Amino acid sequence: MKILVTGGAGYIGSHMTRMLASRGYEPIVLDTLEFGHREALPPAVPLVVGNVGDSFLVESIFREHTIEGVMHFAGYLQVEESVRFPIKYMKNNVLAPVVLLEAMKQAKVSRIIFSSTAAVYGNPETVPIPESHRKEPVSPYGLSKWAFEELLSVYDRSFGLKSICLRYFNAAGASLDGSHGEVHVPETHVIPLACGGALGTRDGFAIYGTDYKTPDGTALRDFIHIEDLCEAHILALEALRSGHKSDVFNVGTGTGVSVREVVNTVKKASGKDFRVKETGRRSGDPAILVSDPSRLMDEFGWKPKHSDIETIVGSALKWHTSHPKGYI
């Protein structure tokens, strides 16, 4: 079964590509390499360098390969940047992948798994957050993801294109053997930033916001290990193959971990008491994002196996220790 993985050379996409290949699927990766890394992919996996908004390129992929499903990870993901450049995010995260949907329709490919986000909820009124929670994103990034979810609903009603949107909370960690991990330039994710502080590749660590209405004043997040996240995608794909209707699921643990707890876990795991600077909140950051993942667990039998914060941090530290410059 050939699966087109857009953004497949990025952090989540490359882990997904590796898991697909290990499970007997044939992934084909489309990535601009703007943020992805060719070295993150298994050598045998075909890589097409380009953008999902390039109609000629995308249509040629569907002509040359018998694609049976799509996993769509390609997109910009920096919340703070989206506040400064909202149109950039709308063009890249909403308008460009319309080309992908049109190519799927033309090629009669009717299954897509979409990499969505908890940012669609905005500041939650109910915690843990169910999928039915109102959608009121506080950042253009979150708005762009919600807009594409709504567009997928239109394609289902109008053209029978079936989709499962997975709303991630905080994807984190590295492969358990430390061979494959997270690299972003610039890096904005809390665990790799804290690991950099511990390993001396960064000048300490900054906590943005210590006055939230949370137990220790820092933001609460629901961290999901990358391998547990990818497992959810496999189950979602198999569900669509078995005739599951278009749907939306949270992917998280249901447990909140504060930024300060992350810092303390990294300090303990590394044995390094690195410098921590406390500063003001960042625009677009909700105080609490914790999932209710019960629907995913009940319908697909999914259960996180590696998503306690100690395992996540341990795997990340192993990766960053052995690859201080990423894939270079």
Q: Which residues are catalytic?
A: 141
Length of the chain: 328
Which token pair is 147? 């807009």
Q: Which DSSP string corresponds to 97-146?
A: HHHHHHHHHHHT--EEEEEEEGGGS-S-SSSSBPTTS----SSHHHHHHH
- How far is it, in rounded angstroms, from Cα 311 to Cα 101? 37
Contact 112, 68 (CB under 8 A): no
Among left, alpha and beta (phi > 0; psi -120 to 50; other), residue 178 is left
Which token pair is 164? 């499962």
Tokens 């994710």 found at: 189
For residue 258, the tally of other CB atoms under 10 A from its CB is 19
Which token pair is 188? 């904005």
For residue 160, the tally of other CB atoms under 10 A from its CB is 11
For residue 213, the tally of other CB atoms under 10 A from its CB is 8
- How far is it, in rounded angstroms, from Cα 35 to Cα 180? 15
Which token pair is 321? 């220790």
Positive/negative CA dihedral, 59, 60, 61, 62: positive
Map residue 261 onto helix, strand or coil.
Answer: helix
Relative to beta strand 205-208, strand 276-279 is: parallel
Q: What is the CA radius of gyration of the chain?
A: 19
Tokens 């921590």 found at: 276
